[in-house]
Amino acid sequence: MPLEGHYERQTTPLYKLSSRELKTAFGVLAVTIAAMLAVVLATVGDSNPGPPIGCIRPTVAGIVGAETIGACGQKAVAICTHASNFSGARAETIVSDCREQRIEF
């Protein structure tokens, strides 16, 4: 059972911050928030635009994880032709990307 005055002694802070320390703490907090906002605003946007006309860039399942296949021109036509001979999710993804990019194979 707590004795009289123990609660007050346990909950009383040992040291009260001065106004200078409070201003410094709030200043550091404001700078941190401003820096975080600057990072968020600097990274907003589409940093990975779509492939140029005549190029493909499908992301398909690979051996270890996602794999991006990128090709342009004749190499893209060859990949699209090769993928059209197969069935399955990987081939369908490549073929659909080829159709989206209007590559004739």
Q: What is the pLDDT of residues 50-72, one digit of tens each?
A: 788 889 999 998 889 999 999 99
Domain-embedded: residue 11: no
Structural domain including 79 reads: 55-100
**Cα distance between residue 102 and residue 98, in whole Å:** 6
**Contact call for residues 58 and 94 (beta carbons, < 8 A):** yes
Tell me the pLDDT of the chain averaged across its residues.
90
- Residues with Cβ within 8 Å of 25's Cβ and at least 6 positions away in sequence, in order, are 17
Domain-embedded: residue 38: yes
Q: What integer pLDDT is reported at residue 38 of this predicted model?
A: 97
**Contact call for residues 68 and 59 (beta carbons, < 8 A):** yes
Q: What integer pLDDT is reported at residue 80 of this predicted model?
A: 94
Rounded to two decimals, what is the model's pTM?
Answer: 0.55
Domain-embedded: residue 61: yes
Q: What integer pLDDT is reported at residue 3 of this predicted model?
A: 76
How many domains does one find in the chain?
Answer: 2
60 and 39 within one domain? no
60 and 23 within one domain? no
Domain-embedded: residue 39: yes
81 and 62 within one domain? yes
More confident residue, 81 or 13: 81
More confident residue, 83 or 43: 83
Domain-embedded: residue 88: yes
More confident residue, 20 or 45: 20
Q: What integer pLDDT is reported at residue 5 of this predicted model?
A: 75
Domain-embedded: residue 105: no
